[in-house]
A and B are shown apart, each in its own frame.
Chain A
Amino acid sequence: MDYGQSLLITLPEIILSIGGLVLLLVAAWSGAKATRAVSISAVALLVAAGVATLCYTGDAFGALYSGDQFSDFGHVLIYIAAAISLMIAPRFFQRAGLARAEYPILILYACVGMGMMVSATDFLTLYIGLELNSLAAYVLASFLRTDERSAEAGLKYFVLGALASGILLFGMSLVYGFTGSTSFVAVLGSLGGGMETGALFGIVFVLAGLAFKISAVPFHMWTPDVYEGAPTPVTAFFASAPKVAATALTVRVAVDAFGTQTLAWQQIIIFIALASIILGGVAAIGQTNLKRLLAYSSINNIGFLLIGLAAGTQEGISAVLVYLSIYVAMTLGSFACIMQLRGPDGEPREELSDIAGLSQTNKGLALAMAIFMFSLAGIPPLFGFWGKVVVFDAAIGAGLLPLAVIGIAASVIGAFYYIKIVKLMYFDESRTVLQTGDGKALAWIGAIMALLVSPLGYFSIPLLGGFANNAASALF
């Protein structure tokens, strides 16, 4: 084992860990006034880690950690999402009177965990990364500790997360018990051929534990409550980076560890995917809170992502990665828009009724929001349509025609509430007096994301598709 090489391959995690520790000291030393500097440094660290991840490839520490192209893709996407979550946050916390340096630092720690998740090639690395991310996430959810809802969100997330971790651990121990190894490669080797019931149980439990992290039905129950309760920048973060990490992790486990037992998990993934699409769509219709609505929207989108995984082919995994990238842009953009809604006294507004008539008060914001909603609904020519196309294409390519048909039909349900938002903005009379616009950062991020998911996004297809294909090929 070449430690020097291993350390270089895990350099992004090392940069973020050490950088996070240093920033924590700085924050402890100089208190809240360092917040701005810490935030900027955190973004710089993410950039550095992103560069580091691209520089070195290969396996590290035996087969514990892999710096392959798949992990590179995941890392970069996670860092971008995390950086954006950092950039949209400061004004929100300033207004809430809680502009503290711990927020960027917690995000950095979460990124360390997420980086390990996408690179994990061993169940132990997987678990450590996942818990590292989760612990940071629990704190982030209750970051507005004076706010009841935020505290409640953190607590619920923690308790249910602990339950999910238990399920995951149990599954992992079963897999270990029946295969004799925690390494993905070894598990893959010994699961081939006939499989014992215990190992099958193990697979189901592991997938259930991971399904919690990606908030797939029926392990989604925490999502709406946590999304609604958590501070909005944190919600934006939850809806983007950890979703990328958890999805990538699930993909890697399914393909690298359980790839020889595709039939065992394929039906589970199909069920979870359809359940997520349908429930995500149906339940969103009844929501009145925008953040809750986007929570269901993320459940719905996870369903579409899992269709790509259910295909189980390289094409399918590539489609998952393309969809993830577009999803991150859409979801961060949507949150950037929502965060610009402020009541007359500057308090955040997040009810559905608050955006009624937005097109009259703030045309640009309404337009951006409309782009995100149409894109989420997968309506051409917006870029969200392309994500759905590649996913369904992969499913059809893998012979899962009925799944694709049901998925497409169910996406109509989702279209209802996305378009309802557009209808509210453009055709209804404004009822509440809103101040809109909240700093340049939000406006810029909203605008850039809107451009990315606008029809212009199609120009990125060769690039994005190429990266996604490379990344997916690393798993096969």
Chain B
Amino acid sequence: MIQIIVFLPLLAAIVAGLANRSIGNVPAKVLTTGALFVSCALSWPIFLAFMSGNESAYVQPVMTWVRSGGFDFDWALRVDTLTAVMLVVITSVSALVHLYSWGYMDEDPDQPRFFAYLSLFTFAMLMLVTADNLVQMFFGWEGVGLASYLLIGFWFRKPSASAAAIKAFVVNRVGDLGFMLGIFGVFLVFGTVSIPEILVAAPDQAGSSIGFLGLRVDTMSLLCILLFIGAMGKSAQLGLHTWLPDAMEGPTPVSALIHAATMVTAGVFMVCRLSPLFETSQFALNFVTIVGATTAIFAATIGLVQTDIKRVIAYSTCSQLGYMFFAAGVGAYGAAMFHLFTHAFFKALLFLGAGSVIHAMHHEQDMRFYGGLRKQIPVTFWGMMAGTLAITGVGIVGLGGFAGFYSKDAIIEVAFAADAPYAGYAWFMGVSAALLTSFYSWRLMFLTFWGKPRWADSEHIQHAIHGHHNDVDHATHAHEEAAADNPPAQEDAGSAPHAHAADAEQLPDGTGGYHPHESPLSMLIPLIVLSVGAVFAGFVFHNFFVEPETAGAFWQGSLAFNEPLMHAMHEVPTWVKWSSTAAMLLGLLVAALMYLRETDAPRQVAENLSPLYKFLLNKWYFDELYTLIFVRPAFWFGRIFWKGGDKGVIDRFGPDGVANVVRSSSGLAVRFQSGYLYSYALVMLLGLVGLVTWVMVR
């Protein structure tokens, strides 16, 4: 059963990928989508069995992988509660995204390749979550990284997409180096890479020390932090987050599947999977808490001012991942997994909804050119609304609410309740980030669906109006989208850009004569299904994930479940329980004020707080800073080795030098072959004399 779940997507990916165009679009799509739906259908019973307590953890061996002295492990599929949660998340979202892509990628010429990549990704992700040892987890880890690279750069003719793909790959290398060192260290310390054995042995190693880079450091802290660096790379945490927003260059279904619901949560999954290991090092947990909490607030601030709809959601993802990490850092792994679970549904929903908007708006991604779409694309609107209600955590304490209300508020409360160091910091950051989350989420909604249409100024819409419907190849949009990424005037959304004021006057309604169309059914069904998830996932599942009485039985020890902490979470003062709701309401209120009533306010705020605004718009200058610190010196260093080392020394005295010697001696040999008999005879005689001399003097 579990083998079918894991390997069916691989099979589909291989067939669709290798046969590619020879079997045509529809068979490739049917095959991959069908495989995912089968996987999904098989995953839910496993999850439900774990929920009902009828199933207990087991390991399904597949085949021997390495037997080399003490380095000894198999390909094996581990199934326990944690895996089951991830299985349903991955297969459900992946199946829906496959279906969604039928509509979204309908005009793309390379559909079999796209679907093959999607299925390949799903296989790698399943391999990651079913890993029973760290090496197999690393295999999946790299597999999803590869698939992410391929999918971000799917429109490889677009330079920005290729660059984003490379950036994602390179930044992840940094994290992966940490992960690898962590695995090496684990093997060094424990003599095994088997996860259960490590977790059992971990408490014995607490307090021991190990030499690292010439220092004596605490063994468990070192291992945990190295492993966590891997998680930071994959989950786009502060410092290694720069690739995630750029990854939005990929097709939107990819963003929904990989960069929202599944791959980016791999880091959270890994920390939870190894939670008993992390529990042995308070230092590492503090590190996780600080990084997570800081990322949550940091990414939220950037999300406030972005104008690209996908980037807003990308920073939102980054921020929500921060929540999950600081939940894990304070010891509430169940809460982290719960938020991962609900977040997968509502964030995938938001991305797919954004994709539907983009689809309707002819590939325009800038929210400043949206407005008033509520009536035009109602299903998308209601889907996005469900997602927004879920992410902002709408609900009433004691009664119930949307998914985020349960999972996010649980995290905020548990941070308050935990007596871990820095938990207070995390709580404060969590509440603040909730305020910002509410603001930017509603800002997105108001800009997109309320107000007057501002479509006329969009170049994409202009294209559409003027009948350029033949731009099948998205790559041709490269220059336009690059232009859209760097809006000419640095002003906040809301105020209509006055670049094309004349056009706007001619068409006072701002539609430019364009009629957005609702997406096809294949795109709407996933939206509807995910909306159901966004609305009910929290209400239905919170008992199993976080409630102290029931959750311990549910997790079956697959992660370090801290029951007293969960009890404490319920005992927090009422004002704490209301704090996140208050933050949410405040954010909604401000957003409504600024984007519904005083539509000139955003511009004024941006002007009055210009330095801060620019700081946020430029994403805290992280990219610039990295360019300065890492990229330029790396290039400079590379140039030294390239020009001086490789070309100047190795090539010059190596291949090129040898080639030159050969060429010049060839010329010499040819010239020596003069054609004159006497010189030939002379050479023969000289050769003879040489040989005789040699045997004589020897």
Contacts and interface: CB of A to CB of B under 8 A. Distances in A.
A96 interface: no
A201 B691 CA distance: 10
Kindly name the residue among A163, A286, A287 whose own CB sees the greatest number of chain B CB atoms within 10 A.
Answer: A286
Interface in B655-698: 662-663, 665-667, 669-670, 673, 675, 677, 679-681, 683-684, 686-688, 690-692, 694-696, 698
Interface residues of A, number: 35
Contacts of A212: 684
Nearest to B674: A221
B691 A204 contact: yes
Contact of A285 (B666, B673, B692): B666
Contacts of B692: 201, 204
B681 A204 contact: no
A286 B669 contact: yes
Interface of B is mostly: helix
Contacts of B675: 225
A94 interface: no
A181 to B, nearest CB: 22
Contacts of B691: 204, 207-208, 268, 271
Kindly name the residue among A160, A163, A283 whose own CB sees the greatest number of chain B CB atoms within 10 A.
Answer: A283
Contact of A282 (B662, B684, B696): B662
A362 B675 CA distance: 35
B669 A208 contact: no
Contacts of B696: 197, 200
Contact of A268 (B663, B667, B679, B694): B694
Contacts of B683: 218, 221
Nearest to A219: B684
B659 to A, nearest CB: 9
Given A159-B677, A285-B662, A208 B695 contact: no
Given A160-B677, A285-B663, A204 B670 contact: no
Contacts of B670: 283, 286-287
A283 B680 contact: no
B247 to A, nearest CB: 39
Contacts of B666: 282-286
A159 B694 CA distance: 27
A284 B670 CA distance: 9
A286 B667 CA distance: 6
Given A159-B677, A221-B673, A282-B669, A267 B694 contact: yes
Contacts of A467: none
B108 to A, nearest CB: 33
Contact of A283 (B673, B677, B687, B695): B673
Interface string B48-65: 000000000000000000
A205 interface: yes
A423 to B, nearest CB: 15
A147 B585 CA distance: 104
Contacts of A159: 677, 681
Nearest to A209: B688
Given A201-B692, A218-B687, A282 B681 contact: no
Contact of A219 (B667, B669, B687, B694): B687
Interface residues on B, range: 20 to 34
A204 B688 contact: yes
Nearest to B673: A224
Interface in A245-299: 264, 267-268, 271, 279, 281-287
B684 A164 contact: yes
A264 B696 CA distance: 10
B694 to A, nearest CB: 7
Contacts of A222: 680
Interface in A197-217: 197, 200-201, 204-205, 207-208, 212, 217
Nearest to B684: A219
Contacts, number: 75
B694 A271 contact: yes
A160 B694 CA distance: 23
B662 A413 contact: yes
A268 B691 CA distance: 7
A156 interface: yes
Contacts of B681: 159-160, 163
A130 interface: no
Contacts of B695: 200, 204, 264, 267-268
A218 B667 contact: no
A219 B694 CA distance: 16
B24 to A, nearest CB: 31
A62 to B, nearest CB: 31
Contact of B669 (A164, A197, A200, A283): A283
A271 to B, nearest CB: 7
A43 interface: no
A200 B663 CA distance: 37
Kindly name the residue among A160, A164, A212, A221 whose own CB sees the greatest number of chain B CB atoms within 10 A.
Answer: A221
Interface string A291-312: 0000000000000000000000
A218 B686 contact: yes
Interface string B92-133: 000000000000000000000000000000000000000000
A237 B689 CA distance: 31
A221 B680 contact: yes
A167 interface: yes
Given A283-B673, A286-B667, A286-B670, A163 B684 contact: yes
Interface in A67-102: none
Contacts of A207: 691
Given A204-B692, A204-B695, A221 B684 contact: yes
A164 B677 CA distance: 13
Contacts of B686: 218
Nearest to B682: A221
A208 B687 contact: yes
A57 B415 CA distance: 100
A385 to B, nearest CB: 22
Interface in A402-455: 413, 416
B656 to A, nearest CB: 14
Nearest to A278: B665
Nearest to B687: A218
A413 B677 CA distance: 28
Given A163-B684, A164-B684, A219-B684, A156 B667 contact: no
A206 to B, nearest CB: 11
Contacts of A221: 673, 679-680, 683-684
A218 B684 contact: yes
A264 B681 CA distance: 25
A217 B683 CA distance: 10
Nearest to A413: B662
A212 B687 CA distance: 11
A369 B250 CA distance: 48
Interface in A166-222: 167, 197, 200-201, 204-205, 207-208, 212, 217-219, 221-222
B688 A160 contact: no
A204 B693 CA distance: 10
Interface in B157-178: none
A281 B684 CA distance: 19
A222 B681 CA distance: 9
Given A200-B695, A218-B690, A267-B694, 4 more contacts: A221-B679, A221-B680, A268-B695, A283-B666
20 contacts: A159-B677, A160-B680, A160-B684, A164-B684, A197-B696, A200-B696, A205-B688, A208-B684, A217-B687, A221-B673, A221-B679, A221-B683, A222-B680, A267-B694, A267-B695, A271-B694, A279-B669, A282-B665, A283-B670, A286-B669
8 closest A-B pairs by CB: A218-B687, A283-B669, A221-B680, A286-B666, A286-B670, A285-B666, A208-B688, A282-B666
Interface of B: 662-663, 665-667, 669-670, 673, 675, 677, 679-681, 683-684, 686-688, 690-692, 694-696, 698
